[in-house]
Amino acid sequence: MFERILIANRGEIALRILRTAREMGIETVAVYSDFDKRALHVRMAHQAIALGGELPSESYLVADKILDAAKRSGAQAIHPGYGFLAENAAFAAKVTEAGLAWIGPPPKAIEVMGDKITSRLAMQEAGVSLVPGMTESVSDAKDAVKAAEQLGYPVALKAAAGGGGKGIRVVRKPSEMAMAFRTASGEAVSAFGDGRLYLERYLDRPRHIEVQVLFDAHGNAVHLGERECSIQRRHQKLIEESPSVVIDEAMREEMGRVALQAGHAVNYEGAGTVEFLWSGGEFFFLEMNTRLQVEHPVTEMVTGIDLVREQLRVAAGEPLGYGQDDIEMRGHAIEVRINAEDTTAGFVPSIGTVKNLRMPGGTGVRIDSCLYRGMEVGMAYDPMLAKVIVKAHDRQTAIRRMHRALEELNVSGVRISAPAAIAVLEEEAFQKGDFDTHFLESLDLSKPRGKEEQLAAAVAAIYRRHRAADKALAGSGETRRGWRERSRAMTSSYSQAATRKSGGGEG
């Protein structure tokens, strides 16, 4: 096993990897940009090396800086986390050429599966059922219209490279294609440095189901069941759970078989995720993510398997040591992503300084977080600040537990995505399992959700009333002093009532 690894990432995933490594007796090396010099992963690692620069393009995305840090620190391996260089085949190759272990799949597997067109070709050759679509890129909007006419509208115009919902546009008629092509191609160039696009048939109301897989270097492989990831907005997930309410044991076995078939087709090693679209009882291969997923904790909660530990073991050359019959899913787990976003204003990014901070706890609650008081939240990095994960013996109990946990959560200084998640949890259709990938976009998120949001809205309403009354004071017979005394009494009365309702003050 490794004695020291470098974690080429930041935020909650850097802390997630660091904690498992420490439990395994492995020393950790953190890297950081100037923006992150006070971050928790920097403070908790055995070593921390500055990369310089404020932006990702000046720090975490500079391969030579990462490799130099690994050399200077004496690290034997590099774990890329997710995002940044995690699915960069060229970087993975550089790591191995430098004599370091890459804690991830072989560069060739990343290259094949990281490109949506080559992955479709590989899966087609392996006999895996695909969403109907192209196996070559389109050169311009005119070619895209011709291809769409053959596939049938609506179609999804998608970036060939990258992932994370970037470079995707839905086109429902020919007149929409030119604009969609320009925006999707531009977004793909900005996000991945590759503007190639291709088309797939767009399934109007599908569910997004993914299967976690593990492969070692000795030919052993298992799947760890499925995750339901349909609660998303513009292809950005908000809530994930395991297992899915629409997948029975027979379909789970079949999806797992296909997922392992996909991995074997590219000689996969390590942890990976095979994503499917499910519609009307059928499922179709979408893509394979050649890295750890943000939502991996729900799989860990129901299987009891530490996926980071397994990544480290496989990268060190160890066999899995267990087979498919040893995998058992118990209970139900749900994860909510806590992003710095104002969900009542269209999920716009929220920036600021984290002031008060209160995290939930209790039975069956896990928090993966990089938050601390005084933390600066800016625009240059991914908005995800934390993940709240719960487990219970059944889905309904897990939903109630998550609702309770989100009510306890308080992050002041920036707006967070918890109210949107609370809105989903309160919907009867979600509780019954009746939803698809458009469910979140169909909800009215303009009203406050959760005690903290309701309190903030009520205080804002009082403030507005005070301002209006203050302006009207000049035309009334009441003195300013009299109005101030009355308003203070009203505010005090409200605050006491709010404190009684919430069970205490802010933590």
- Strand 197-201 vs strand 155-159: parallel, antiparallel, or unpaired? antiparallel
Query: In sequence order, what are the beta bridge partners of 197?
Result: 138, 159
Enumerate the active-site residues: 291
The Cβ of residue 25 has, within 10 Å, a number of other Cβ atoms equal to 9
Per-residue exposure over 118-139, b if at least 16 CB sit within 10 Å of its own CB, e if not: ebbebbeeeebebbebbeebbe
DSSP 294: T
Instruction: Give the predicted TM-score (pTM) of the model.
Output: 0.84
Secondary structure class of 409 (helix, strand, coil): coil
Block residue for tokens 């967070």: 416
* Local confidence pLDDT in tens for the 507 residues of the chain: 999 999 999 999 999 999 999 999 999 999 999 999 999 999 999 999 999 999 999 999 999 999 999 999 999 999 999 989 999 999 999 999 999 999 999 999 999 998 888 888 888 888 888 888 988 999 999 999 999 999 999 999 999 986 767 889 999 999 999 999 999 999 988 878 889 999 999 887 899 999 999 999 999 999 999 999 999 998 899 999 999 999 999 999 999 999 999 999 999 999 999 999 999 899 999 899 999 999 999 999 999 999 999 999 999 999 999 999 999 999 999 999 999 999 988 899 999 999 999 999 999 999 999 999 999 999 999 999 999 999 999 999 999 999 999 999 999 999 999 999 999 999 999 999 999 999 999 998 876 665 556 555 554 555 455 566 556 655 555 554 554 555 555 545 444 544 444 444 333
Block residue for tokens 């923006």: 35
Give the separation between CA 350 and CA 333, rounded to whole angstroms.
28
Residue-level length of the chain: 507
Give the separation between CA 126 and CA 109, rounded to whole angstroms.
14
Question: Residue 503 has which token pair?
Answer: 């069970």
Looking at residue 492, its pLDDT comes to 52
Secondary structure class of 113 (helix, strand, coil): helix
Question: Residue 431 has which token pair?
Answer: 């509780």
From first CA to last CA, the distance across the chain in angstroms is 41
| 466 backbone dihedrals φ, ψ, rounded to 5° | -60, -45
Block residue for tokens 């160890």: 318
Looking at residue 497, its pLDDT comes to 47
Element (H, E) at 79: strand 77-79
The Cβ of residue 261 has, within 10 Å, a number of other Cβ atoms equal to 16
Question: Residue 405 has which token pair?
Answer: 């946990």
